[in-house]
């Protein structure tokens, strides 16, 4: 009976649905008829049989597996370029990534507080190309092989400059070529590669050419304090360093060198020596005041050098340096055929053509650089440690204890002068002898602190980026970034305080990373190392960065309001 009742119920449901369909009014959409419309044939649909598709996917996966095995065998004996705490993220030298491959970064999760204590290192896998480039040449180029005055070659050899570095080998022949020397020059190379001689040698050669002319009317008519060459540096310490080298060479060649620095300008104007001078080296602020007050004349200048051009074209100096350059080389003031501008730096400045185009034709600039520009140094050990702000000081103390026990010279970088000063007091209280070098320290005391550091009276110097540009720190063993820099250009300059030509071979860099902005910079750097490309967005414009971040903060505040 149960089965029969179930069948009767099922049949009654079918009859009910059928009656509903018969009585329902079916809506038929209107048919639109287009005039002259002829429907085309249906497009064929190509389908892949399931079995064929399965076999294709299997072949593709097998090919990827074979490729990975081949890469693993190829990289088996290659040195490890990046060593990570998580070894699965290690990167071998020569390891490559496909266009669509995801590059796994050791710093990928560093914005999460769970990453505290993580680290990775960049290992040295090659020699410094500043000197090892001779292996490919098969010989060692020297200053004797250049078209220089014999007296200049002798002076260089007497001062210990005999062999050429890679950038000197590339730049000097082109700059000394009489057919092209009317062009301006932009020289970019890694820090510590000997860029100072890249501009000093052509400047000295040009002055010797002028002085050696049989009918030397230009030189005979020059009044006191009328230089032939002007060398501009962003800081007084770098200007002093360049001036010492220029004076050492000039004394052997009969070339008079002045060093013009800021500070106590009014007393200097009253007591400054009036004498024949060939080269003036100075900080930008000091030179601008001396020339504007008429202490030096623009009239006979034929060579202008802008050292650390990326810094001089930063918003801090840009307007002033452009105004300064406009005073040279005009037909109303210059007795020479023209003025050549030589620019050097460890990074190419952003918007270079726009800025320098205001004073010179940028098409007349000959750019010379090494192939390692805007890249990290693969000949210097570098370690990056993810720390929390609360443990940074303890981490720093742990690192310094090892350095102090080995009597190493340590240079500590901070992003702010107040932080550098605080570290000096903190370290001295914890029995680490330390001095500071930053904008808050008077320039006379900065000179004393730098002298004490160079001569071994103290082995720890707490500094800002004031010490990262151009200073010759060949004796430094260890650079510590207590504050990680907020742009890649600053990191390149800081790390360049070790691994310099003529420096000690055991120099290394340690960076403490504790803020999101620093992590973003480090992620770009790590990505560039893994892909073996230049670092993206190497921006040295500090003021613009600060203004941009301030604008973002204001926009966020307005959103919440």
How deeply is 131 buried, as exposed, middle or buried, from its count of CB atoms within 10 A (0-12, 13-18, 19+)? Answer: middle
Task: For residue range 142-199, list pLDDT tens digits in order.
Answer: 999 999 999 999 999 999 999 999 999 999 998 988 665 557 899 999 888 889 999 9
As annotated, the residues of the chain forming the CATH 3.40.50.300 domain(s) are 119-128+377-553, 130-369
- Which of 471, 455, 450, 460 minimizes the C-alpha distance to 409? 460
Given a cut of 50, is residue 337 above it in pLDDT? no
- The pair of structure tokens assigned to 515 is 């803020």
How deeply is 504 buried, as exposed, middle or buried, from its count of CB atoms within 10 A (0-12, 13-18, 19+)? Answer: middle
The whole-number pLDDT of residue 120 equals 97
511, 524, 471, 364: CA torsion to nearest 10: 180
DSSP string, 254-310: T--EEEE--SSHHHHHHH------SEEEEEHHHHHHHHHTTSS-STT--EEEESSHH
Average pLDDT, the chain: 84
pTM, to two decimals: 0.80
More confident position, 28 or 6: 28
The whole-number pLDDT of residue 548 equals 57
Percent of the chain with pLDDT over 70: 81
- The pair of structure tokens assigned to 186 is 């932009």
The whole-number pLDDT of residue 335 equals 32
320 in Cβ contact with 284 (< 8 Å): yes
- Which of 320, 374, 339, 319 minimizes the C-alpha distance to 491? 374
Given a cut of 70, is residue 266 above it in pLDDT? no
CA distance 373 to 494: 15
Task: For residue range 383-434, list pLDDT tens digits in order.
Answer: 999 999 999 999 999 999 999 999 999 999 999 999 999 999 999 999 999 9
Band of pLDDT at residue 2, cut at 50, 70 and 90: very low
508 in Cβ contact with 380 (< 8 Å): yes
- The pair of structure tokens assigned to 218 is 């230009």
Given a cut of 80, is residue 10 above it in pLDDT? no
> Please, which residues have CB within 8 angstroms of residue 108's CB and are 6 or more apart in sequence?
523
The whole-number pLDDT of residue 200 equals 96
Given a cut of 90, is residue 251 above it in pLDDT? yes
**What are the angstrom distances between the C-alpha of 76 and each of 61, 71, 81, 86, 348?**
22, 8, 13, 18, 37
Residue 446: CB atoms within 10 Å = 22
- Mean pLDDT value across residues 484-497: 92
The whole-number pLDDT of residue 9 equals 43
> Please, which residues have CB within 8 angstroms of residue 380's CB and are 6 or more apart in sequence?
124, 495, 498, 499, 507, 508, 509
Q: Are strands 303-306 and 279-283 parallel, antiparallel or unpaired?
A: unpaired
- Identify any residues that bridge with 478 across adjacent strands, giving them in sequence order: 410, 508
For the domain made up of 119-128+377-553, give the CATH fold.
Answer: Rossmann fold (3.40.50)
Length of the chain: 561
339 in Cβ contact with 303 (< 8 Å): yes
- The pair of structure tokens assigned to 251 is 């004394």
Of the listed ranges 22-31, 262-271, 388-397, the least confidently predicted one is 22-31
- The pair of structure tokens assigned to 2 is 């149960």
> Please, which residues have CB within 8 angstroms of residue 306's CB and are 6 or more apart in sequence?
232, 312, 321, 341, 342, 343, 344
- Which of 188, 194, 426, 193 minimizes the C-alpha distance to 310? 188
CA distance 335 to 178: 20
420 in Cβ contact with 450 (< 8 Å): no
364 in Cβ contact with 353 (< 8 Å): no
- Mean pLDDT value across residues 510-539: 92
The whole-number pLDDT of residue 55 equals 83
504 in Cβ contact with 474 (< 8 Å): yes
- The second-level CATH assignment, the architecture, of 130-369 is 3-Layer(aba) Sandwich (3.40)
Q: Are strands 91-92 and 279-283 parallel, antiparallel or unpaired?
A: unpaired
- Which of 453, 534, 537 minimizes the C-alpha distance to 487? 537
- Mean pLDDT value across residues 288-313: 90
């Amino acid at each position: 009976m149960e089965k029969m009742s179930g069948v009767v119920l099922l049949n009654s449901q079918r009859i009910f649905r059928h009656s509903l369909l018969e009585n329902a009014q079916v809506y038929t959409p209107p048919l639109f008829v287009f005039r002259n419309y002829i429907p085309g044939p249906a497009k064929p649909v190509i389908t892949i049989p399931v079995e064929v598709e399965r076999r294709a996917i299997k072949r593709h996966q097998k090919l990827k597996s074979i490729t990975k095995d081949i890469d693993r065998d190829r990289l088996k004996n290659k040195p490890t370029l990046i060593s990570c705490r998580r070894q699965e993220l290690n990167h071998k030298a020569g390891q490559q990534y496909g266009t669509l491959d995801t590059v796994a970064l050791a710093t990928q999760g560093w914005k999460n507080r769970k990453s505290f204590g993580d680290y990775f290192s960049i290992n040295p896998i090659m020699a410094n190309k500043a000197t090892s480039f001779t292996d490919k040449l098969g010989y060692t180029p020297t200053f004797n092989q250049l078209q220089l005055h014999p007296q200049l070659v002798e002076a260089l050899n007497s001062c210990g400059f005999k062999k050429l570095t890679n950038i000197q080998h590339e730049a000097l022949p082109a700059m000394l070529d009489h057919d092209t020397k009317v062009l301006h020059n932009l020289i970019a190379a890694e820090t510590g590669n000997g860029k100072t001689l890249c501009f000093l040698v052509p400047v000295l050669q040009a002055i010797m050419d002028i002085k050696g002319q049989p009918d030397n009317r230009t030189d005979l008519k020059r009044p006191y304090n009328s230089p032939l060459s002007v060398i501009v540096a962003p800081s007084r310490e770098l200007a002093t360093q360049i001036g010492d080298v220029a004076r050492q060479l000039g004394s052997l060649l009969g070339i008079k060198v002045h060093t013009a620095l800021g500070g106590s300008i009014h007393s200097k104007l009253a007591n400054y020596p009036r004498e024949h001078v060939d080269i003036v080296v100075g900080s930008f602020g000091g030179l601008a005041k001396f020339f504007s007050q008429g202490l030096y004349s623009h009239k006979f200048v034929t060579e202008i050098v802008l050292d650390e051009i990326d810094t001089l074209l930063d918003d801090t100096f840009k307007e002033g340096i452009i105004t300064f350059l406009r005073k040279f080389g005009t037909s109303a003031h210059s007795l020479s055929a023209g003025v050549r501008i030589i620019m050097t730096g460890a990074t190419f400045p952003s918007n270079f053509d726009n800025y320098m185009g205001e004073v010179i034709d940028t098409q007349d600039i000959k750019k010379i650089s090494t192939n390692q520009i805007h890249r990290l140094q693969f000949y210097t050990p570098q370690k990056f440690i993810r720390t929390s702000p609360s443990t940074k000081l303890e981490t720093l103390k742990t690192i310094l204890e090892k350095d102090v026990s080995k009597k190493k010279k340590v240079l500590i970088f901070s992003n702010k002068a107040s932080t550098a000063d605080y570290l000096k007091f903190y370290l001295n209280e914890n029995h680490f002898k330390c001095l500071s070098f930053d904008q808050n320290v008077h320039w006379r005391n900065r000179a004393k602190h730098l002298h004490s550091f160079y001569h071994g009276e103290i082995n720890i110097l707490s500094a800002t980026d004031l010490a990262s540009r151009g200073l010759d720190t060949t004796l430094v063993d260890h650079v510590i970034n207590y504050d990680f820099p907020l742009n890649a250009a600053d990191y390149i300059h800081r790390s360049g305080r070790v691994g310099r030509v003529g420096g000690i071979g055991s120099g290394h860099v340690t960076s403490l990373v504790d803020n999101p902005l620093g992590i973003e910079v480090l992620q770009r750097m790590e990505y560039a190392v893994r892909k073996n490309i230049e670092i993206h967005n190497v921006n040295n414009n500090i003021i613009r960065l600060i203004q941009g971040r301030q604008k973002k903060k204001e926009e966020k505040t307005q959103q919440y309001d």
